Structure 1
């Protein structure tokens, strides 16, 4: 399938990690049509980093930023995806280094009425000094400093054994997912009632399923390497859990407080 695509990278105040992610994007075997940094209020050092990359990046690199008012990832992702020119959205977090075949894998398995989600390998805390000093972005199942090594196996033949499902998978993570922008708009994108960490990504995936999409896991494909960090505060998690529970119970397809407000501009 020949698609225009937009790679969305969500970030917040960690330019050292974003730097490695952008290096890994530059190393892709197949490039997206454009890259958009969805920035939830980072400081000037992130802006300067992006501007330096914009000078010679292989595809257009855009920076969508809003003021820091706390964890509002749903809002900044909606703003970024609203501006995306690609028909297909591939989404990662700014602490996830991507495998050289990452974009190629997502585009290869993109299909109508399906959303994709992939695996993440964990980079250990104790390896971070080496990671950042050497700017290492290439890993294998045998690399030092990682755990969950089987997830680092890139075997497309094995990946073909995984089909689609109409059920939500607890393995879903918003740091490694892709979908058609038209489907995202059809369910009104991320629910901006989510504030603080948690459930904004899984709730979107559940609405995709309620809307009629199927899910396909990219196993042995579409790999990311997640850089260890201290967990975000979870003070809003109970409220966010309730929002997701309502989406499940009422089979909600379309959220009221979503991306549509940015599509009018």
Structure 2
């Protein structure tokens, strides 16, 4: 297989259902899905079981006990279980456009990781998206989104399907090319070389910290935010605190200052 799609989730089974529908209609099917589940209850397993027959390869459901926000740990476990040499990281609240996987595979390049973005939806629009609208891709139509509660802003241009426009915007956008947990891909070997995700970190920049260590290890970033499109469904973030942000920012500042590559508490614990 060409790719492992690693999707994080936690007790958001209705959003995950919409996301899995999105992956079931991809133009490229040579990939596996690995669900990195940070302690969801049986409702999530029920949703995953409904989709097991809809993909070329069996869905892997990597689960751990619910002991608070431990996203880095479940991601490291999922990395070890992934079977492809190239990994795409996203979240269980991000619906991919049908060319999402193909866009990542077309843009992949040795010595780089790919930095994608998302189009964030309000709650009423997130709820309004049905299975039919994902399958026929209406939910990626600017007109449909505006009719269903999305304000008219320049950010809607990210959904333009013109390849020339998306290539130009990838080049000129002022947005930094960061490692984004909702839309980033990289070679598995590059990630293992920096020991994966840092389990000393909780919510707040944990994904960007990986990208900074990859950069310290000679891996550059490549912008694809206008090419690889996903819709970010709305949700609360009760796990975000000022304390975790402060701790995480201190770790990132230290890593940048001292050019840290591999961290101690990472994926090597599970190899």
* Same fold, judged at TM 0.5 (above): yes
User: If the length of structure 1 is used for normalisation, what is the TM-score?
Assistant: 0.90
Give the unaligned 5+ runs of structure 2: none
Q: Is the 8 A contact 1:116 1:218 kept in 2?
A: yes
Distance apart, 1:125 and its partner CA: 1.6
Q: Which moved more, 1:98-107 or 1:145-154?
A: 145-154
Partner residue, 2:218: 212
Distance apart, 1:128 and its partner CA: 3.2
Higher percent of residues as strand: 1
Q: Is the 8 A contact 1:26 1:58 kept in 2?
A: no
Q: What does residue range 155-170 of structure 1 map to in structure 2 within 5 Å?
A: 155-161=162-168, 162=170, 169=176
Partner residue, 1:101: 99
Q: What does residue range 110-259 of structure 1 map to in structure 2 within 5 Å?
A: 110-131=108-129, 136-137=133-134, 138=137, 139-144=140-145, 145-146=149-150, 148-161=155-168, 162=170, 169=176, 172-195=179-202, 197-235=203-241, 236-259=244-267
Q: Is the 8 A contact 1:194 1:200 kept in 2?
A: yes
Q: Is the 8 A contact 2:30 2:56 kept in 1?
A: no
User: If the length of structure 2 is used for normalisation, what is the TM-score?
Assistant: 0.88
Q: Which moved more, 1:14-23 or 1:3-12?
A: 3-12
Partner residue, 2:70: 72
Q: Which moved more, 1:135-144 or 1:215-224?
A: 135-144
Distance apart, 1:248 and its partner CA: 1.1
What is the SS of the residue equivalent to 1:90? strand
Partner residue, 1:33: 31
Distance apart, 1:241 and its partner CA: 1.2
Give the unaligned 5+ runs of structure 1: none
Q: Is the 8 A contact 1:5 1:89 kept in 2?
A: yes
Residues 146 and 48 (structure 1), Cα distance of their counterparts in 2 relative to 1, 3 Å cut: same
Higher percent of residues as helix: 2
> Distance between the aligned counterparts of 2:21 and 2:212, measured in 1?
32
Q: Is the 8 A contact 1:38 1:80 kept in 2?
A: yes
